[in-house]
A and B are shown apart, each in its own frame.
Chain A
């Protein structure tokens, strides 16, 4: 049976893993390569490394960090941040990434989705969407770019559909409203996006307990869920988390 994925996310700045609350207030959480391996060994189904400052500071992705992290990692490994062209993506793949996650650059130039997909396959392209609910709540949830700094005027569901049509392999949906709060994912928004597209949707933002994961898989219809802060400070490890989520009736990769 196809299981739901638990993805450990490493937000990286300046070669260190950091974690913010609602995209600001950064605290240091360690070395990316070391944490990635620890997560994989602890049962994470996948690792995502996001260079969270790459876009607005105009830096390229930290290829050395990627290389070091990928060296002996044998679960899927995604890298995002500062990927603006098919060449940027190629360098990241060359360093050992399996997928790239593109966000602001896909909004700026949607053709980029297809360009990367045609060389490396659709499965290698994740379109990340940072979303915030609007005046009318989930109905007019809007896409934000540049690390959540700029509103685009695009509706989340519309952009998710377009990304799929342009050849995205997965959608990584982060709710800026719930991010870092540990009060649970935005299940309603996740469900709307998941029902609007055929491709897998990864829910992100707000993980605080196993119950939150179970909820976003069931009510939110997410195919995968991502968390960063929940793991880094020893709150839980993936194996313990997965056992709890499985006990709530969600198929998980266990033992792992």
Chain B
């Protein structure tokens, strides 16, 4: 069973639709910690404000996720779902992330290398420095394009599985053992995105 966590941040239709398209038929869209604990895989989608992740702590989903990933359940965070895996975000400093990965998510700078930088970062951008040992990105060629829409981004660290360049490099995908995240929207990234989701489903 795949638990897709619903924390009332944006719409989950597209993510669920893409997972079903790839053959996942046992999907539970849930807010219950017990579903997270018994799931074979966990997906945390999310668009919108980092603050909305506060609900995860309030509903006991943070603790459930901690326990689930500790026993090895594969976890995929998408967009804000990736950002939540870090310590926190300047978007909502009072809301703690899971802290599985070190570092803090920050807003794109207004100016980069002397030029004005538009924010949000919206559109198709390429994946660079794709880590060869990444299970999530297996078969994804460096330079492949994926779809983004976000104003905050996670820093590059040794756990980064691929980076994207916009106002400097940021983490496009993060992966350490069973815990993974993508800043882009795989459900909206055509063939490349479907490949990433397929890789996750195959874990």
| Chain A residues proximal to chain B, CB less than 8 Å | 1-5, 40, 45, 70-72, 74-76, 93-96, 98, 119-124, 169-170, 198-200, 223-224, 253, 256
Report yes or no: B149 in contact with A123, Cβ–Cβ below 8 A. yes
Report yes or no: A75 in contact with B190, Cβ–Cβ below 8 A. yes
Within 97-128 of B, Cβ neighbours of A (below 8 Å) are at 118-126
Sample (23) of A-B pairs whose CB atoms are under 8 Å apart: A1-B126, A2-B121, A3-B124, A3-B145, A40-B190, A70-B17, A71-B17, A74-B21, A74-B188, A76-B149, A93-B13, A94-B11, A96-B14, A98-B14, A98-B188, A121-B10, A121-B47, A121-B48, A169-B120, A200-B120, A200-B123, A223-B122, A253-B124
* Residues of the A chain whose Cβ atoms lie less than 8 Å from the Cβ of B121: 2
**Smallest CB-CB A-B distances: 10 pairs:** A121-B48, A123-B149, A93-B11, A121-B47, A253-B124, A253-B145, A2-B125, A200-B122, A3-B124, A76-B188
Within 1-34 of B, Cβ neighbours of A (below 8 Å) are at 9-11, 13-14, 17-18, 21
Q: Does B49 contact A (CB under 8 A)?
A: yes
Q: Does B165 contact A (CB under 8 A)?
A: yes
Q: Tell me the nearest residue of chain A to B46, going by C-beta.
A: A121
Other A-B contacts than A74-B187, A121-B49, 16 sampled, CB-CB below 8 A, are A1-B126, A2-B121, A3-B125, A40-B190, A70-B14, A74-B190, A76-B147, A120-B47, A123-B120, A123-B122, A169-B149, A170-B122, A199-B118, A200-B120, A223-B123, A253-B124
Name the one of B9, B48, B190 contacting A256, with C-beta atoms under 8 angstroms. B190
Query: Distance (Å) between the CB of B159 and the closest chain A CB?
Result: 24
| Chain B residues proximal to chain A, CB less than 8 Å | 9-11, 13-14, 17-18, 21, 47-49, 118-126, 145, 147, 149-150, 165-166, 185, 187-190, 193-194
* Residues of the A chain whose Cβ atoms lie less than 8 Å from the Cβ of B122: 123, 169-170, 199-200, 223
Cα A123 to Cα B11 with chains together (Å): 12
Cα A71 to Cα B123 with chains together (Å): 21
Report yes or no: B11 in contact with A200, Cβ–Cβ below 8 A. no
* Residues of the A chain whose Cβ atoms lie less than 8 Å from the Cβ of B9: 121
Name the one of B126, B150, B166, B190 contacting A123, with C-beta atoms under 8 angstroms. B150
* Residues of the B chain whose Cβ atoms lie less than 8 Å from the Cβ of A76: 147, 149, 185, 188
Query: Distance (Å) between the CB of B118 and the closest chain A CB?
Result: 6
Q: Tell me the nearest residue of chain A to B14, going by C-beta.
A: A98
* Residues of the A chain whose Cβ atoms lie less than 8 Å from the Cβ of B126: 1
Query: Distance (Å) between the CB of B109 and the closest chain A CB?
Result: 12
Cα A40 to Cα B191 with chains together (Å): 11
Cα A46 to Cα B149 with chains together (Å): 13
Query: Distance (Å) between the CB of B183 and the closest chain A CB?
Result: 13
Identify which of A1, A74, A76 gathers the most chain B CB atoms within 10 Å of its CB: A74
* Residues of the A chain whose Cβ atoms lie less than 8 Å from the Cβ of B190: 40, 74-75, 256
Query: Distance (Å) between the CB of B59 and the closest chain A CB?
Result: 18
* Residues of the B chain whose Cβ atoms lie less than 8 Å from the Cβ of A74: 18, 21, 187-190, 193-194
Q: Tell me the nearest residue of chain A to B164, going by C-beta.
A: A2
Cα A1 to Cα B118 with chains together (Å): 14
* Residues of the A chain whose Cβ atoms lie less than 8 Å from the Cβ of B14: 70, 96, 98
* Residues of the A chain whose Cβ atoms lie less than 8 Å from the Cβ of B124: 2-3, 5, 45, 253
Query: Distance (Å) between the CB of A150 and the closest chain B CB?
Result: 30
Query: Distance (Å) between the CB of A39 and the closest chain B CB?
Result: 12
* Residues of the B chain whose Cβ atoms lie less than 8 Å from the Cβ of A4: 123
Query: Distance (Å) between the CB of A69 and the closest chain B CB?
Result: 12
Cα A96 to Cα B16 with chains together (Å): 10
Cα A4 to Cα B47 with chains together (Å): 22
* Residues of the B chain whose Cβ atoms lie less than 8 Å from the Cβ of A121: 9-10, 47-49
